[in-house]
Amino acid sequence: MLDLQAAAKECKHLSGCRAVTAFVGTDFQKNQEYEFRFVTGIKPCTADPEYRTVLLPADSKGSLRGQWGGPVPLEVLAAQGATLVRENPPIAKFDGFLSDDEIQHIMELARPRFVRSTTGMTYDSGDSRTSETAWLNAQQDSNDAILANITARITELTRLPHEHMEPFQVVRYQAGQFFQGHQDYLDAQEEQVCGGRVGTFFMYLNDVPEGGETHFSKWDLTITPRKGLALLWWNVNYTALQHGIFGGTKDEDAWHQSLPVVEGEKWVVNRWLHPYDFLTPYFEGKLR
């Protein structure tokens, strides 16, 4: 069994830009060889080090499979059906990403869970966001095959495993409701073990008769809600992200808002993406 304690002690001595230390061990209970890496990011690893890691099955050559190398190249996304609605920085859209059955399933799970939406790490339910939110809990719904299939497809498009994604956040807007201008990246998360929300995978569950567009004011870009459509954008400097730099590079131009719904309802889903494991420390109460 890999000695995680000894590895953690080693991590405390690492600092600097993207320093990496690798350890190899075997989980005898699962009969699986692992490579264990500490990735410090651009600052010394001062948080709980066992979470600033990538822990993945090793292949026969001992290299890491799935070690995040940054965003999927745009030409690969295009081959997987993406259309670029903006090139620099890129925003990719995926028509028909969600099927009707998947959409109905998400809605059925979310309906009994809706509460007033909040903002940021302070969970403020002020006037800037007037919608309702339902979280599809990654523990409660962990055996849900439909959600797992959706997550697997997001992984293909982002190279990030589900542990690096926040749970499905379903948001419902009634007529007159909105979300004022904001950036998904939360500065308060940057020094936490998960790192900030480097990316957003955003899905629309229905057509909206009027209103409810997603508007990126600094890019002069407006997206009309369309059932099954998904968007992928990055909340940090794209060039830095391609070089594996995640911290201190928030892209202020990724500012966006949900315009008021004029007629009908608007249903959307957020999957926020992190450079490090989010779910493990989240469910252990290690995130502030």
Residues 176 and 236 in one domain: yes
Say which DSSP state 65 is in: S
* Of 67, 69, 73, 42, nearest in space to 54 by CA: 67
In a domain, 65, yes or no: no
On whether the CB atoms of residues 36 and 27 are closer than 8 A, the answer is: no
**Are 127 and 261 part of one and the same domain?**
yes
- Domain membership flag for residue 157: yes
As for how many domains the chain has, the answer is 2
pTM, to two decimals: 0.75
Does 288 fall in a domain?
no
Element spanning 8, H or E: helix 4-11
Q: Are residues 142 and 270 in the same domain?
A: yes
> What pLDDT was estimated at residue 75?
92
Does residue 183 form part of some domain? yes
Q: 241: closest CA among 201, 202, 272, 197?
A: 197
Query: Mean pLDDT in runs of 10 for the chain (288 residues)?
Result: 37 32 36 36 34 34 44 92 94 98 97 77 54 80 89 94 93 87 86 91 98 96 98 95 85 93 96 92 85
pLDDT at position 283, please?
85
153 and 217 both lie in a single domain: yes
Distance CA 287, CA 125 (A): 20
Structure tokens at 227: 């059932």
- What is the per-residue pLDDT for 116? 81
Q: What is the pLDDT of residue 51?
A: 37
- For the four alpha carbons of 168, 268, 101 and 110, in that order, the dihedral sign comes to positive
Residues 205 and 153 in one domain: yes
Residues 183 and 43 in one domain: no
**Which pLDDT score, from 0 to 100, does residue 171 have?**
96
Is there a single domain that holds both residue 209 and residue 250? Answer: yes
Q: Which domain holds residue 12?
A: 4-57
131 and 43 within one domain: no
User: What pLDDT score does 192 carry?
Assistant: 87
- The answer to the question of residue 116 being in a domain is yes
- The residue type of 280 is T
Contact call for residues 41 and 25 (beta carbons, < 8 A) = no
Neighbours of 115 (CB within 10 A): 10
Q: What is the DSSP letter of 278?
A: -
pLDDT of residue 69: 67
Within-domain flag for 48: yes
Enclosing H/E stretch for 11: helix 4-11
* Spatial strand order in the sheet of 20-27: 20-27, 32-39, 53-57
Residue 45 lies in a domain: yes
Are 80 and 38 members of one domain? no
Question: Is residue 208 domain-resident?
Answer: yes
CATH of the domain at 84: 2.60.120.620
Please indicate, yes or no, whether residues 110 and 53 belong to a single structural domain of this protein.
no
Which pLDDT does position 45 carry in this prediction? 30
Same domain, 10 and 133: no
Residue ranges with strand state E in 105-229: 115-116, 132-136, 168-173, 179-182, 199-204, 210-211, 214-216, 221-223
Question: And the tokens for 266?
Answer: 């608007």
